[in-house]
Amino acid sequence: MKRRMFLLTGLGAAGTLVVGWALLPPRSRLGRADLMPAGGGEVGLNGWIQIARDGGVRLAMHRSEMGQGVHTALAMLAAEELDVPLARVQLVQAGHDALYGNVASFVDQLPFHPREREAGAETRTVKTAQWVVSKLARELGINVTGGSSSVADAWEPLRWAAATARAQLVGAASLRWRLPVEDLVVEGGVVSHPSGPSSHYGELAKAAAATPPGDVSVKEPSRWRLVGKPAPRIDVGPKVDGSARFGIDVRLPGQLFAVVRHSPVLGGGPGRMNVDAALRRPGVERVVRLPSYAGSAPAVAVVGRTVWHALQGADALDVEWRAPPGVAPDSARIARALEQAAREAAQREGGFAFYRRGDWPRAVQSAARTIEAVYRAPYLAHATMEPMCCTAQVERGRVAVWAATQVPGLARAVAAQAAGVPQAQVTLHVTYLGGGFGRRLEVDVVGQAVRVALETAGRPVQLVWPREEDLGHDFYRPAGAAVMRAAIDARGDVVGLGITSAGDAVTPRWMERTLPALTVPLDTPDKAVADGLFDLPYAIPHERIAHVATKSGVPVGYWRSVGHSHNAFFSESFVDELAHALKQDPVAFRLSLLKEHSPRHAAVLQLAADKAGWGRPLPPGRARGVALHESFGSIVAQVAEVSLAGGRPKVHRVVCAADVGTVVNPQIVAQQMESGIVFGLSAALYGRIDIVGGVVQQTNFPAYRLAGMADSPAIETHLVPSARKPSGVGEPGTPPIAPAVGNALFALTGQRRRELPL
């Protein structure tokens, strides 16, 4: 999306700059107090913070909790600056103001090499582009929970908002007691003076709202009480007693249930349909044809008294499915086409070069030796444990929607479109998400649910996708292929790296179905699919990293870590190949390519190697593999210990080291590394979506296998201390595990695996 934003920026920058944006401090994201609803005597101090009568803090929560711990992390930031215990922070769903848009995720998508955007070392081009995109993102205010960006994005504005609120509260006490601010103490949300006066925030809030904050500063790290410590997650209680409300758990008076059926062939839709048999089934209320919403295929929904009744009706449907226009996609054919496209582009230096350094063609010509390998990855489904679902109610022109969504504003937009009402007529409730992983950046199911609710005479209806629909009609992680080439000089040094990958662009496809208003006619290069190839940390003097964007006809979308998810397998397996070809230890080889330019990467790799006992003997039949990868601003190294059991890889232990910048909650960071590793392990060991004649072959979990308890290794996470701004946590654990396991398998068997799954 940000690529397009970049282009838009180019078109609109002149005009917008004339309007006179100034480079404002983070306090420009304070927001107006009336952005938060107040009904119970709360006093709003800005767009993020309200104070309740009892002195509790109410925090506008703009990001969606899908397991990544963002509710806890952001509440910690507010509690820290306000000096209240975490338990005193109550979350209130944020509204749709642009204040709550995600700026960091847009800026992250600018196609600059990490070295070019290193803070303090940016060129003017980088700085200008970042500034313009951040301003544009700020104006658009698109609320996205994704791109591992929530803490990075909230880091300044949320802390400043909380610190400003605190300053107003303390200022109010100072005025009331006529005592200097510097002499007042705040402890647990109570402001006091050693001479006796004491008031909790609730008693000061009204006066604080009228008190200017004066000079505000956020805390120095040395004064943190919460940040950096392993606070328990605030969502764990309801998640162990069944009371947590996910999208599928919404229950309203008079509620109906609906299930969806899509054409078995991707892109097909319902043609002639006989609904008599379905309607004769007990408990079936009606059948609704669904047009396409936000990229969904046209479909049919069956409404019933319970999901089961709706399922019975769906089984009795008599539908002639229309074939999609054009040739039905076929994953085996696509895989061959991608490989051919990558090979041809590699031959003639084609594709879009995301990164160039030195003179790659000359490096190849003058090389003493070249090493070449071709890597492949399949389509993958998200398979969130909570299937796609959405609840909607349409009554007298007003629409209420309950959705487990990563994009509440875009969900509201599609709901309004489906109901034919202005967005202001739509109330959108965000529930807990039973997993997101990028699938809930899509709003197809929201449009479908609202369409069904238009037919139920004001009764709320919950639309549920059976698992077969979820796996068969996902927006898949695109398949990919890459030709990897290295040039080695006479001394045995790697002097050139050429990578030519091919695969479908993700961002333009997501934009055109989800944000059509911002779509431009021509695809611009999608950095998201080049991530993990063009941005490598190794000091290789000559590089050309290019990508060929294809259109394969399969719906594709963002999948946890996006391009990194397979590109890290390509790059880190190939780097391992180079180490072995040059008869060097894989850790030492990487370190030799990192030491001068990438000290952070070297430190992370060294930590993982040390903690894993790299080089120390293992029991017979076991081997270690290592991988190092940067994504979403964070650097992660993993060492996997692997054996073969009945010819299949068994991963026993994974040692993970990470530099994620400042750590807000080390417990959650460790959890996310574990999560990323197991998620990536499912893809490494089993993950593949096969499409034959347009029909997805994996229909449910027995066929789309996920790593289970018996597959799950022991995992240790070690964090490199850092004072940098926080960077991504939810996704960076995923990319390195596939190459770490593949590299261990090579160490074990001498056979190089160049295709996923292993």
Question: Which amino acid is it at 750?
Answer: G
The gap between the terminal CA atoms of the chain, to the nearest Å, is: 31
Contacting other proteins (CB under 8 A), which of 230, 397, 420, 599?
230
Interface mask (CB under 8 A) for other proteins, residues 355-384, using x and -?
----------------------------xx
Give me the residue label for tokens 């001498």: 750
Phi, psi of 706 (to 5 degrees): -115, 155
Residues 160-189 that bind other proteins (CB under 8 A): none
Contacting other proteins (CB under 8 A), which of 10, 25, 188, 237?
237
The site that binds other proteins (CB under 8 A) totals a number of residues, namely: 79
Binding region for other proteins (CB under 8 A) out of 60-68, 339-347, 349-357, 546-554? 60-68
Residues 477-496 that bind other proteins (CB under 8 A): none
- Contact between 146 and other proteins by CB under 8 A: the answer reads no
- Contact between 307 and other proteins by CB under 8 A: the answer reads yes
Nearest to 531 by CA among 503, 495, 573, 496: 503
CA Rg value for the chain: 27
Binding region for other proteins (CB under 8 A) out of 531-539, 564-572, 710-718, 745-753? 710-718
DSSP 755: B
- Contact between 221 and other proteins by CB under 8 A: the answer reads no
Residues 658-687 that bind other proteins (CB under 8 A): 663, 666-667, 669-672, 674-679, 681-682
Least CB distance to other proteins at residue 224 (A): 12
CB closer to other proteins out of 203 and 386? 386
Least CB distance to other proteins at residue 698 (A): 12
CB closer to other proteins out of 238 and 420? 238
Least CB distance to other proteins at residue 575 (A): 25
- Contact between 652 and other proteins by CB under 8 A: the answer reads no
- Work out the number of other CB atoms within 10 angstroms of the CB of residue 551: 11
Least CB distance to other proteins at residue 220 (A): 17
Phi, psi of 414 (to 5 degrees): -70, -30
CB closer to other proteins out of 417 and 672? 672
Nearest to 451 by CA among 426, 423, 420, 482: 420
- Contact between 698 and other proteins by CB under 8 A: the answer reads no
- Contact between 225 and other proteins by CB under 8 A: the answer reads no
The CA distance from 274 to 344, in Å, is 49
Handedness of CA 56, 57, 62, 67 (dihedral sign): negative
Nearest to 676 by CA among 618, 637, 720: 637
- Contact between 710 and other proteins by CB under 8 A: the answer reads yes
The CA distance from 423 to 418, in Å, is 11
Least CB distance to other proteins at residue 446 (A): 19
Interface mask (CB under 8 A) for other proteins, residues 455-474, using x and -?
---------x-xx-------
Nearest to 681 by CA among 609, 621, 756: 756
CB closer to other proteins out of 189 and 733? 733
Least CB distance to other proteins at residue 704 (A): 10
Q: Measuring CA to CA, how many Å separate 383 from each of 54, 248, 265, 561?
A: 43, 15, 19, 15
- Contact between 714 and other proteins by CB under 8 A: the answer reads yes
Contacting other proteins (CB under 8 A), which of 385, 424, 490, 692?
385
- Work out the number of other CB atoms within 10 angstroms of the CB of residue 651: 26
Burial, 646: exposed, middle or buried (Cβ in 10 Å; 0-12, 13-18, 19+)? exposed
Is residue 621 within 8 Å of 643, Cβ to Cβ? yes
Is residue 741 within 8 Å of 638, Cβ to Cβ? no
Contacting other proteins (CB under 8 A), which of 706, 725, 752, 755?
706
Contacting other proteins (CB under 8 A), which of 122, 273, 712, 725?
712
Is residue 392 within 8 Å of 452, Cβ to Cβ? yes
Least CB distance to other proteins at residue 618 (A): 19
List the structure tokens of 208.
């604080």
Total residues found in the chain within this entry: 758
List the structure tokens of 104.
């960091």
Give me the residue label for tokens 């943190």: 224
Least CB distance to other proteins at residue 40 (A): 24
The CA distance from 385 to 50, in Å, is 34
Contacting other proteins (CB under 8 A), which of 182, 215, 220, 241?
241
List the structure tokens of 237.
């209680």
List the structure tokens of 511.
């934009």
Contacting other proteins (CB under 8 A), which of 42, 80, 249, 576?
249
- Contact between 306 and other proteins by CB under 8 A: the answer reads yes
Interface mask (CB under 8 A) for other proteins, residues 411-450, using x and -?
---------------------xxxxxx-------------
